[in-house]
Amino acid sequence: MPDALAQLQTAIGHQFEAPDLLVKALRHRSVGAHNNERLEFLGDGLLNFVIAHALYQARPDVPEGDLSRLRATLVRESTLARVAQGLKLGDLVELGQGERASGGHRRASIRADALEAVIGAVYLDGGFESAAGVVKTLWRDELTTLPDAESLKDSKTRLQEWLQARGLALPVYRVISESGPVHKRQFVAECQCATVACQGEGSSRRKAEQNAAAACLTQLLTEANVDA
């Protein structure tokens, strides 16, 4: 483990003055009371701020809503877990016996939480600039390959904006049916707007409505191109 922790510090670009902080950052709550949850809380706040600041600088002409969507993609669990996987954090996290037996080291949420805790530990050990530097180092690729903010809007938002831009009424949604057991519900929703009405399915009402909106938007765009 000492060699692995040394490699981790090299990878993140920070050498701990208080190595115990790093050890605690890698201790899952299943181990006991002295775990990484408080460090995770601290790291989460730091990560959100540093990413927000980086986006503010990188996209000076992008409105707040688009910046929020971009930030959400960079700080979501799947992104955190991917970055953590590159550092092999899953192999370093200390787990309780039950969590270890169930394969907790492979769980995305545990890797993501550990990464936030490491960021929090860096802040306590070296201050804000050190923590910000670690975040910028680990998120360098994500920050240099940002997607188009427009592509991050969900289907309901895109449909609403398309209709509003043309002075058309907002869409109306309704759930047509629900089926399946409680733990595995399936919803069918309908979206009515302008000249079209489309249905969508999903494991929640929201997902079904999103899929119905996507279908409507596709049909409206197709009709608009035909008319043109």
Show the tokens assigned to 67: 């910046």
Provide the residue-wise pLDDT of the chain in tens; the chain has 228 residues.
678 999 999 999 999 999 999 999 999 999 888 999 999 999 999 999 999 999 999 889 888 988 988 998 899 999 999 999 999 998 999 998 888 888 777 789 999 999 999 999 999 999 999 999 999 999 999 898 887 766 667 889 889 989 999 999 999 999 999 999 888 899 999 999 988 999 999 999 999 999 999 999 999 998 877 543
What pLDDT shows up at residue 227?
Answer: 46
Q: What is the pLDDT of residue 152?
A: 66
* Prediction pTM value: 0.71
Q: Is 125 a catalytic residue?
A: no
Question: Given phi > 0 = left and psi -120 to 50 = alpha, else beta, which region is 32?
Answer: left
Q: How far separated are the first and last CA of the chain, in Å rounded?
A: 65
Q: Which of 77, 74, 81 is nearest to 106 (CA)?
A: 81
Number of neighbours of residue 15 by Cβ within 10 angstroms: 13
From 40, 44, 142, 209, the catalytic residue: 44
Distance CA 94, CA 112 (A): 14
What pLDDT, on a 0 to 100 scale, did the predictor assign at position 120?
98
Question: Which is catalytic among the residues 94, 99, 113, 116?
Answer: 116
Token pair of 85 as six digits: 């996987």
Give the model's pLDDT for residue 151: 64
Question: Catalytic residue at 201?
Answer: no
pLDDT at res. 192? 95
From CA 220, how far away is CA 140, in angstroms rounded? 38
Domains of the chain, CATH where assigned: 2-147 (1.10.1520.10), 153-227 (3.30.160.20)
